[in-house]
C-alpha cells in the first residue's frame, strides 16, 4: 500500500466541521477542463446557475433549466477526484414547495453525482430545507443577494445595510436551524457578514462579504478574466485570459490571411517518411 494516502473527498458533514478552522476554498465550474484545474485546490466545487450568463449569454440566471444544470453537472463530475461537488437548483425547480424541491434535488444528485444541492432563500425556504435534509438531501443555503430574485430585490444591489441587516441575520439563523450544512453570503456588508459568521454554527461562504467568513467562492471565469462583460466589485482578477485569448485569436487570423500558417512544420508530406531499419 502506498505510504501516501489518497486525499479523501469531503462530505457535507466534513465541510460543516470546518467551521472556524482553515478557510474553505471554492470556485464555480461548468466544464470538465475547468474542474480538473481546480480539483486539487478546492474543498468543494459549485456547478452554478451562473452558467446561464457566463457560458450561454443569458441576461440573468432565470432562464437556466434543469437540463442545463444536469448537463454541466455531469461534465464537472468527470473532472473531479478530490473536491466535493455542489450543484445549484435552478429558478422554478424548488420554490413551489418541499415536494417539488425534493423531486428535482433528488434528480440533480442522481444524474450528476453531486454531494449536495444549493438553493436560494432564507426564512421563506427554511421549511423546504428541513424537508430535504430529513430525506437525505444535503443543502447549502444562499442568502443576501439572491440572483434568482433580482427582479424583486430591485437589481444586483448590496443586501443588509442599515435596517435590512436584521432580516438577513434572520435568514441566516433560519437556514442554519433548518439543517443547511453551510450558507453562501452574497453581497452583504462586511460587518454584517462577520456578525452572521460569529452567530451561526455552520460555515459561511463569502462572495462580496468578508475575509472573516469561513470560506470564499468566486466564479472561475471572473477570477481568470475570461468573462469580461462586466466585473463586480468583489471580483479579483488573478489572470487576464480573455485578453490573452483575444490577442491569440487575432494573431491566428493575421497569419491565416497572410498564409504564414500553417507552416511547413504543421503539414504532411505526400509520401510517408522512411522507417529506420532495425538493427
What residues act catalytically?
Answer: 186
Cα(100)–Cα(195) distance, integer angstroms: 33
Nearest to 197 by CA among 150, 143, 130, 234: 143
Residue in this structure with the C-alpha cell 450528476, named with its chain if needed: 112
For Cα atoms 193, 181, 154, give the angle at the middle one, nearest 5 degrees: 45
As to burial, measured by CB atoms within 10 angstroms (0-12 exposed, 13-18 middle, 19+ buried), residue 181 is buried
100 Ramachandran zone, left/alpha/beta (phi>0; psi -120 to 50): alpha
Q: SS3 letters for 22-48?
A: CCEEEEECCCHHHHHHHCCCCCEEEEC
Peptide bond into 179 cis (omega under 30): no
Amino acid at each position: 500500500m502506498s505510504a501516501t494516502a489518497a486525499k479523501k473527498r469531503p462530505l457535507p458533514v466534513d465541510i460543516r466541521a470546518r467551521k472556524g478552522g482553515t478557510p474553505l476554498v471554492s470556485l464555480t465550474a461548468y466544464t470538465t477542463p475547468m474542474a480538473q484545474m481546480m480539483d486539487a485546490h478546492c474543498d468543494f466545487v459549485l456547478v452554478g446557475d451562473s452558467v446561464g450568463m457566463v457560458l450561454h449569454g443569458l441576461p440573468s440566471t432565470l432562464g437556466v433549466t434543469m437540463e442545463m444544470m444536469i448537463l454541466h453537472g455531469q461534465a464537472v463530475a468527470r473532472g473531479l477526484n478530490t473536491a466535493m461537488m455542489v450543484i445549484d437548483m435552478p429558478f422554478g425547480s424548488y420554490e413551489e414547495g418541499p415536494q417539488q424541491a425534493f423531486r428535482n434535488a433528488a434528480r440533480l444528485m442522481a444524474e450528476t453525482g453531486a454531494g449536495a444541492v444549493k438553493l436560494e432563500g432564507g426564512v421563506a425556504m427554511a421549511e423546504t430545507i428541513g424537508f430535504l435534509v430529513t430525506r437525505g438531501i444535503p443543502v447549502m443555503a444562499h442568502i443576501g443577494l439572491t440572483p434568482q430574485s433580482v427582479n424583486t430585490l430591485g437589481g444586483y444591489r448590496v443586501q443588509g445595510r442599515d435596517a435590512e441587516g436584521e432580516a438577513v441575520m434572520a435568514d441566516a439563523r433560519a437556514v442554519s436551524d433548518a439543517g443547511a450544512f453551510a450558507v453562501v453570503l452574497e453581497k452583504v456588508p462586511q460587518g454584517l457578514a462577520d456578525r452572521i459568521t460569529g452567530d451561526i454554527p455552520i460555515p459561511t461562504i463569502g462572495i462580496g462579504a468578508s475575509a472573516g467568513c469561513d470560506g470564499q467562492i468566486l466564479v472561475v471565469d471572473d477570477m481568470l478574466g475570461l468573462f469580461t462583460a462586466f466585473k463586480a466589485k468583489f471580483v479579483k482578477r488573478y489572470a487576464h485570459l480573455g485578453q490573452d485569448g483575444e490577442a491569440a485569436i487575432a494573431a491566428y487570423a493575421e497569419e491565416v490571411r497572410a498564409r504564414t500558417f500553417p507552416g511547413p512544420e504543421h503539414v504532411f508530406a505526400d509520401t510517408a517518411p522512411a522507417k529506420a531499419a532495425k538493427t
